[in-house]
């Protein structure tokens, strides 16, 4: 699955290729924020501020469901994001969390992934 590097939405479509000297890269268009991006190696240009992400993850650590965190992001930060992306955040930004929260978040994610197979 590909996720928009700007807004984290997964509402993206493949639209042709961008060529440069070294490599060929798949170009994507995000229907959520109407921007183009090239799938590179990860989320380098992610616009979501790490502090917002950390706050979302801390809510999750506090016991909010991924669904609730997702809803919160939409209403408070105007960020449309999939639950899957929130998981990605956990992995990417876990180092910014306090250790106790980090442990909680990972534990909850592990528990969730054993009950539901779809990511």
Residues that bind Zn ion (CB under 5 A): 4, 6-7, 9, 30, 32-33
User: Measured from the CB of residue 96, what is the shortest distance to Zn ion in angstroms?
Assistant: 22
- Other CB atoms within 10 Å distance of the CB of residue 32: 16
Q: Shortest distance, CB of residue 29 to Zn ion, whole angstroms?
A: 9
- Identity of the residue, 26 or 32, whose beta carbon is nearer to Zn ion in the bound complex: 32
Residues 6+ apart with CB under 8 A from 118: none
Assess contact for 89 and 56: CB atoms under 8 A. yes
Give the nearer residue to Zn ion in terms of CB position, either 30 or 104. Answer: 30
Classify residue 11 by its DSSP letter.
-
Is the Cβ of residue 88 or residue 101 nearer to Zn ion in the bound state? 88
């Amino acid at each position: 699955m590909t996720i928009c590097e700007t807004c984290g939405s997964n509402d993206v479509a493949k639209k042709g290729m961008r060529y440069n000297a070294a490599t060929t890269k798949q170009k994507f268009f995000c229907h959520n924020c109407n921007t183009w991006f090239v799938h590179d190696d990860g989320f380098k240009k992610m616009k979501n501020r790490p502090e917002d992400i950390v706050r979302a993850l801390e809510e999750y650590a506090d016991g909010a469901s991924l669904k609730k965190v997702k809803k919160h992001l939409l209403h408070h930060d105007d960020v449309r994001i999939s639950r899957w992306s929130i998981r990605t955040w956990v992995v990417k930004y876990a180092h910014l969390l306090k250790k106790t929260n980090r442990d909680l978040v990972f534990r909850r994610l592990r528990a969730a992934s054993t009950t539901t197979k779809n990511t």
